[in-house]
Amino acid sequence: MDFSQFGSQSRCSAFLANIDERQTATVRFLGQSFTLPPWSVSILPDCRNTVFNTAKVAAQTHIKNAEYVLPLFSNSSVPARFIVQNEDSPQSTSWMTAKEPISLWSEEKFTVKGILEHLNVTKDESDYLWYFTRIYVSDDDIAFWEKNKVSPAVSIDSMRDVLRVFINGQLTGQLTPACVVFVAKSWVVQPVQFQKGYNELVLLSQTVGLQNYGAFLERDGAGFKGQIKLTGFKNGDTDLSNLSWTYQVGLKGEFLKVHTTGDTEKFEWFDLAVDAIPSTFTWYKTFFDAPAGDDPVALDLGSMGKGQAWVNGHHIGRYWTLVSPKDGCGSCDYRGAYNSGKCRTNCGNPTQTWYHVPRAWLKASNNLLVVFEETGGNPFEISVKLRSAKVICAQVSESHYPPLRKWSQTDLTGWNISRNDMTPEMHLKCQDGHIMSSVEFASYGTPKGSCQKFSRGNCHASNSSSVVTEACQGKNSCNIAISNALFGDPCRGVIKTLAVEARCISSSNSGYSHY
């Protein structure tokens, strides 16, 4: 409770909490009784009236659909064209590609002895930090490997985020959080293949996010956290922290800003063949036209692996199409403390494939798309999609509280909240530029299920559909009172609930002229 005294006037506000996960609680506070659902908090802005309870949220649910779109072709001389329809799905017919060099190219590179901490070197200017050194392999080493049937390996006792290992410019292995779990005194071993003579060993450290909470977060850092050594040689293990390393920050493509201009003079681009083998550490670019209309635009990057993408120089995000475990999803219950495995959804699917592109970043035609791919993906299957909420649903019962808009500003600031109309309401709204074309389901009584799976219960008002249709059809938004006065009382003595599912369409494609 918060209590403030201003001269002769006093103001009071309170939060009432029930931390029991199963039982409803009735409490007395300042002479009044309040019923609190399990694991919920009630807000009393005047210490008398409840205006909100966390267990009685009546927010509308949107079911968003993604639709393939065709480009707006123009007479531009730009050869690359993106997203044309074939028998299966829209695809790009023209991409260009360029390889990111696995070599020293930066004038700001430097050489020191030992392994430096990632963020202290990059200053968070890039996700990428390269470590270069040379390893000499003698005839005796090769004979030792053949005789004992062993292979050399890079061993690491602790690594933060992602590590990729290159030998003589070729990717040998990669260690990621998905497959590397470090425990005390454990080692991760990455086998490597060397040739006779001098070999270039390159380690690429990548950040995939920084700690932003908890004690001593400033000490979290990135990159190598423990000892690194080279094992399997005839003369024993080599502590790599005793070697001289040359450091290089970032990518050459980043340095040349190819994601902003697609410059072909400073970076060597080639046409990409449709049957090209997916390649690692590769830049791709193409052009596309903005789809018509006002619906939100997204890029479907489900065919790619891990990397980053830009549209007209704007960074639309880092993508990583990791697939979540197939098990772990189940019924969701808000009650109880939060944990990372609670209320999981979409088990067995990629964590994210759609990436929003604000229309403010798009031109009518010739929009530059640049993708940097780290692990190998197929850019020909990248597609543009329009996203819109075609289905909206809501459930509100008589036990819910009236909408906050019913409390006038004068009441709230003057702390004199009235009870003129405590009737709960359902508020439905299509996205801007859309209207409700039909009511797919409506039941006032004891409906069952959830959005797109609603069904009537034992108690149902026969006029449910007609009342909701009259209030909402052809409109962008509508409010419906949860009241027997509107629907009648189909079952006396029972708390009634209104469940509605409506379909939205673009107002430009409808026969309605009003909202």
Nearest to 295 by CA among 390, 188, 204, 373: 390
The pTM assigned to this predicted structure is: 0.78
Q: Tell me the residue type at 106.
A: S
370 vs 85: CA distance, rounded Å: 21
439 vs 417: CA distance, rounded Å: 35
Q: Distances from the Cα of 279 to the Cαs of 30, 78, 81, 392, in angstroms?
A: 69, 25, 21, 42
Which element (helix H / strand E) includes 323? none
150 vs 148: CA distance, rounded Å: 5
φ, ψ dihedrals at 149, nearest 5°: 55, 50
248 vs 251: CA distance, rounded Å: 9
15 vs 46: CA distance, rounded Å: 10
Residues 6+ away with beta carbon under 8 Å from 307: 318, 319, 371, 372, 373, 374, 375, 377
Neighbouring C-beta atoms of residue 124, cutoff 10 Å = 10
> Going residue by residue through the chain (515 aa), what tens digit of pLDDT does each one get?
666 555 555 688 899 999 999 999 999 999 999 999 999 999 998 898 888 999 988 889 888 777 766 432 333 334 434 443 333 444 445 899 999 999 999 999 999 999 999 999 999 899 999 999 999 999 999 999 999 988 899 988 877 888 999 999 999 988 775 444 333 334 578 899 999 999 999 999 998 887 777 788 777 788 887 788 999 998 889 999 899 999 999 999 999 999 987 666 778 899 999 888 889 999 999 999 998 888 889 999 999 999 999 999 999 999 999 888 888 888 888 899 888 888 888 899 998 899 999 999 999 999 999 999 999 999 999 999 988 889 999 999 999 988 877 775 555 555 555 555 778 999 999 988 899 999 999 999 999 999 999 999 999 999 999 999 999 999 999 999 999 999 999 999 999 999 999 999 988 765 554 44
Neighbouring C-alpha atoms within 13 Å toward the C-beta of 265: 1
